[in-house]
Amino acid sequence: MFDLKKYQKIREIINNLGKKTKIIAISKNHPLSDVVSAISSGLQIFGENRVQEAKLKFENILSKQKNIKLHLTGPLQTNKVKQALELFDVFHTLDREKLLKELVKFPEKIKNKSFFIQVNTGKEATKSGVMPEETFFFLQLCRSYGLKNISGLMCIPPINEDPKKHFRLICDLSQDLGLGNPSIGMSSDYLEALEFNPQYIRLGTVLFGKRI
């Protein structure tokens, strides 16, 4: 169930800090009724992790409400690229050359999209993302393929480490590369993330409760 009071409280925190950070409501594994409730409360940006779930949940909504923006916040398989480009406005998990090659097959579709490079700041074997020291090279690779609309970097800190260390690293990388503010902060660490003036925070559990 969507928690309007919690959303309003977080919005108030952002406003009081003088930030322009936008909230992505992560609606994966939550029913359509929760999404409808959130939209009725004024939310316009939603995040989903899987193309098929997003299509089932949002296709009808997007056809009727052009102000709603959908972000892909989970890994994108190359065989889902075409379908994803028809649904999502922003992609937060650009992480490998194979995916780049598939995306640029659709130049007319990608030109109006925005992309974040996912950086594996914790160098975790179980996580996707470009290694921090390879981020500059990967950004150049994106541009060489013709994918120039890179909005920033994204990371998911290891759960057993201080997230601020990782947020600081991602902000330093963003500055070095001349990119916009990053996509950082989730339900467990968004308050820490707000100290770093992120472009987006990605909130699921704190807004919708535990997933089904």
pLDDT of residue 212: 59
Name the band, by pLDDT with cuts 50, 70 and 90, for residue 205: very high
Which superfamily does 4-208 belong to? Alanine racemase (3.20.20.10)
For tokens 């065989």, the residue is 79
pLDDT digits (tens, 9 = 90+) for 65-111: 999 999 999 999 999 999 999 999 999 999 999 999 999 999 999 99
Structure tokens at 163: 């997230």
| Confidence check: pLDDT of 113 > 70 | yes
Read out DSSP for 90-111?
EEEEE--HHHHHHHTT-HHHHT
Return the higher-pLDDT residue of 212 and 133: 133
Q: What are phi and psi of 57, to 5 degrees?
A: -85, -35
Write the burial class of residue 172 (CB in 10 Å: 0-12 exposed, 13-18 middle, 19+ buried). Answer: exposed
The reply to whether the predicted model has a pTM over 0.85 is yes
Structure tokens at 76: 């994108």
pLDDT digits (tens, 9 = 90+) for 156-166: 999 999 999 99
In angstroms, the CA 156 to CA 127 distance is 9
pLDDT digits (tens, 9 = 90+) for 42-77: 999 999 999 999 999 999 999 999 999 999 999 999
Q: What percent of the chain has pLDDT over 90?
A: 98
Mean pLDDT over 118-130 rounds to 97
pLDDT of residue 210: 85
Q: What sign does the CA torsion over 197, 201, 207, 211 have? A: negative
Structure tokens at 105: 């097959």
Domain ranges (residues) in the chain: 4-208
